[in-house]
Amino acid sequence: MIEDKKDNPNKQKIIRNRLVGLAALLLILAVIAPWIITDKSNSQTSTTPILQPNIVNEQFQAAEAAPDDNTANNGANNVSSIPYIPDTDQNPSSLVSPEISGDEKDDLTFTTDPIEQDPKPYIIQLTALRNKQKIEELVALLRLNNYNVRVIPKNPEPNQLIKLLVGPYAKKEQAEQVIDNLNNLTKLKGIIVAN
Across all residues in the chain, what is the average pLDDT?
73
Contacts of 186 (CB under 8 A, 6+ apart): 126, 138, 141, 142
Instruction: Say what the pTM is.
Output: 0.40
Q: Specify whether the CB–CB gap between 121 and 84 falls below 8 A.
A: yes
pLDDT of res. 22? 95
184 vs 9, which has greater pLDDT? Answer: 184
Q: pLDDT per residue over 54-67, tens digit each? A: 665 666 666 666 55
Q: pLDDT per residue over 127-151, tens digit each? A: 889 988 999 999 999 999 999 999 9
130 vs 68, which has greater pLDDT? Answer: 130
Q: Where are the domains of the chain?
A: 1-35, 53-85+119-194
Classify burial at 174, counting beta carbons within 10 Å of its beta carbon; exposed 0-12, middle 13-18, buried 19 or more: middle
Q: pLDDT per residue over 70-122, tens digit each? A: 444 444 444 555 555 555 454 544 444 445 555 554 554 544 444 445 567 88
Cis peptide before 168 (omega within 30 of 0): yes
Task: Phi first, then psi: give them for residue 16, nearest 5 degrees.
Answer: -65, -45
Residue 40 has pLDDT above 70, yes or no: no
Partners of 152 in the β-ladder: 163
Contacts of 187 (CB under 8 A, 6+ apart): none
Query: pLDDT tier at 154 (50, 70, 90 boundaries)?
Result: confident
Cis peptide before 153 (omega within 30 of 0): yes
- The CATH number for 53-85+119-194, chosen from 3.30.70.1070, 3.50.50.60, 3.40.50.800, 1.10.3720.10, is 3.30.70.1070
